[in-house]
Amino acid sequence: MKAIITVIGKDKVGILAIIANECMKGNINILDVSQTIVDGFFTMTMSTDFTNASETISQFATHMEEFGKEKELVIRVMHQDIFDSMHKI
């Protein structure tokens, strides 16, 4: 099962690393990463595989939303099917 993680926040050193570390803790495999900085704001979209994850997507999403608040980031995790549906024309 695949999920998409999105991250938005003021740019600072280590954002990719802290998100990757949380994925590692949950045994979530990172498949692809796209990131950019626009006018001082960091944005990232990460494709992940939850096949061997220690949590459900819903549990991880709740964890990451709280983790994001602590780090002054907006972090969303959603099933890839939902993400794909939201971005179809």
Give the CATH number for residue 53: 3.30.70.260
User: pLDDT: is 39 or 88 the higher one?
Assistant: 39
Task: Reply yes or no on whether the pLDDT at 88 is more than 70.
Answer: no
- Where does the pLDDT of residue 79 fall: very low under 50, low under 70, confident under 90, or very high at 90 and above? confident
Per the structure, the count of domains in the chain is: 1
E strands present in 1-89: 2-10, 29-38, 41-49, 73-79
- Which candidate, 84, 83, 85, 67, places its Cα nearest to that of 75? 67
Separation between Cα atoms, residue 25 and residue 89, nearest integer Å: 35
Q: Which domain holds residue 72?
A: 2-86
Residue 27 CA, chain-centre distance (Å), reads 14
